[in-house]
Structure formats: structure tokens, C-alpha cells
Chains A and B, each alone.
Chain A
């Protein structure tokens, strides 16, 4: 999922300066799962903004309307009625949702309430870790299900490097060496010999260095 965290309250308040009718839009997908942008967080943010406005005498109407997803035009359409009454929209979705809202409602100020951090998952209650760099050319079948692009600080395809010491990366004692993990996993699988093959330079044309990426499925096009 996409992992996000809420922006500092002060920053959100600054973004809302001069706004009067605010529509707060939580997203019930990824950002709800990581407790950053779900309906509960939306209600909390609305309460916090109302308290702040009452204390500072600012007039701000806050309405909360959750959407199941904000990265899908069909769901965003549900917002049309409420959006018409608002002069600004505060989205609790990832950057994708914010942009989709801005595209659908171009006459509204669409403000992100979250900082989108990475594609990852929960490793323990309250802890999320990155697992995918969205490089578009997966090598997990070669590396025993552990991504060296994301989890190795250098993104090495042939590791480990000299900075690996007792299974820990030199960048941080709390970061395990991805290549040590790969070797351990491949040993367990009895496939260690496969790592003797040198991995050729990766095809990065599917990465994000070439501008906007687009995926077209002809079988699904209308």
C-alpha cells in the first residue's frame, strides 16, 4: 500500500488561510489502513481545525466526506454535490488522490493534508517499512523475494558490498543488509548457487527517470 503521514498541523493551517468553506475528504484505502487519512483521522482534523478557528475567530465551515478511493474517477464523482458548495478541498489521500481531485474539480483549491512517503507495509503495530521502489521491472524472483533495489542502500544487483558487517548495513545499525538477507534466504531455499550468476545492468527504462509513466491495457479500454 501507499504509506503516508499527516503534514504538521501548522502547515495545513497555513495552506487554508483565506479559505471559508472546506471539504475534508478522507480516503478509505491505503491512507486509512496506515492511520493517516481515514475517516477517523478526517474527523480528528476537522475537530482540530474547528477548535483552532474558534480560538482565532476565523470563519471556516468544515465538512467531512469520505471516499472509498480517490485514485479512481468513479469514486471521485460521488463528491460533486459537496464539492460544489466548497471553495477548497483538503484531501487525506496520497499524492495520486490529491491530483485526481484537482483534475476533476479544477476550480477548487485542492490541498494535501498528508505527505506521501513510500510503497510499503506494516512490519509491527505502528511501524511501516518501504518494500517497493516501483521500478517497473521486478527482480524478486532472482533475489529470493527480497528487493535489493529498495532495501539495499545502494540498490545493488550484485551484493553485498564492503559496507555489510555482521548482517547490518553501514548506513544504520538498525538497517539489516539486504544482500545478507538475500543470501540467507537463498541458502534456506537451497538456491545459493544461483547467486553466482552476475546480474547484468537492469533495464531502467521502466523506472521514473523518463517522466510520466503510463500503462495501457487494450483489453480493458472502453
Chain B
């Protein structure tokens, strides 16, 4: 994988599955793209849309949410709520003017360390294909243009 420009990607990962899978990928000494900043959370159902939008507002190039497989959420349906929220947020991003492909939901188990590394690399390639976020710092939203 060639480094075309520095990327910033945030991954909201559930402690019970994807976060552990990322840990396993490290234990397995699998390498994946270093642009991903992993944020561990108790359940993907706890990720509020405002947090994801705030990440995009700060200029990150992509965000993915990684939760448990269907039927394996420790809080029963948190992953399903997260999946629906991500689906809606992708629509919101499109209406705002950002590519919805910059946001994705993945589901995996704690044992899927190699799959986690694969997903990260796939997502990074996708974001490279889209180019840097047009919201990158440099354009100051607060600047008055009267």
C-alpha cells in the first residue's frame, strides 16, 4: 500500500468484539494502516450521531463503527441500533454534501483479528479513493465573511 497523503480515520469499536479483535490483530503481529485511531466504547449502541458528525467536523477523512455480530451484542440490540444510525447518518452526510462512503459499519467477533486488519486496509483504500475530506482544517468555519 503506497502512502498517497496522510489520512485520519477514526474507528469506534466495541470493547466486547471489534476492540478485542484489534487487540488480537496486534497479538498476531498483523499490520494494518496506522491512520486509524481506535476509540474503545462499551457498546456501539452508545455512539451518538453527534460524536460521529463532530469527528467529520474536525476534518477526519473517514469514520467506521465496528460492533458485534448479529445476535451477539452484550446489550442485546446495541449493534443493531448502531447499524441503523450509521445507515441514517450516511443519508445525512449525503444531504450535507459529504460522500456517505466515508462512514461505514462493520460487524465482527473478538476472534476475528485478521478480519479486522483486512477491514481496516479495505476501508483505508476506499478513503484514499475518495480523496481527503473537504472539511480538512484550513477552512475556518468561524471566519466571518460579511
Contact = CB atoms under 8 A, between A and B. Distances in A.
Interface of A: 8-10, 20-21, 40, 43-44, 47-48, 50-62
A56 B50 contact: no
For the complex of A and B, the 8 pairs showing the least CB-CB separation, nearest first, are A59-B145, A47-B53, A43-B50, A9-B95, A44-B50, A54-B139, A50-B141, A54-B135
B144 A52 contact: no
A44 B49 contact: yes
Contacts of B48: 40
B6 interface: no
From DSSP, what is the main secondary structure of chain B's interface residues? loop
A40 B46 CA distance: 13
A31 to B, nearest CB: 16
Nearest to A56: B97
Interface of B: 48-50, 53-54, 56-57, 92, 95-98, 134-135, 139, 141-146
Given A55-B97, A55-B135, A56-B97, A48 B141 contact: no
B95 A60 contact: no
A175 to B, nearest CB: 26
Interface-centre pick from A8, A10, A47 (highest chain B CB count, 10 A): A47
Contact of B56 (A51, A57, A58, A59): A51
Contacts of A54: 57, 134-135, 139, 141
B95 A8 contact: yes
16 contacts: A9-B95, A9-B96, A20-B145, A21-B144, A40-B50, A43-B50, A44-B53, A47-B53, A47-B57, A51-B96, A52-B96, A54-B135, A55-B134, A58-B145, A61-B144, A62-B141
A20 B57 CA distance: 18
From DSSP, what is the main secondary structure of chain A's interface residues? helix
Contact of A47 (B50, B139, B144): B50
Interface-centre pick from B97, B141, B144 (highest chain A CB count, 10 A): B141
A59 B95 contact: no
Contacts of B144: 20-21, 59, 61
B7 to A, nearest CB: 18
B141 A53 contact: yes
Contacts of A60: 141
Given A40-B48, A52-B96, A54-B135, A59 B143 contact: yes
Nearest to A59: B145
A76 to B, nearest CB: 24
Given A8-B95, A20-B146, A59 B53 contact: no
B57 to A, nearest CB: 5
A51 B139 CA distance: 10
A113 B96 CA distance: 15
A51 B95 contact: no
Contact of B97 (A21, A40, A50, A52): A52
A208 to B, nearest CB: 34
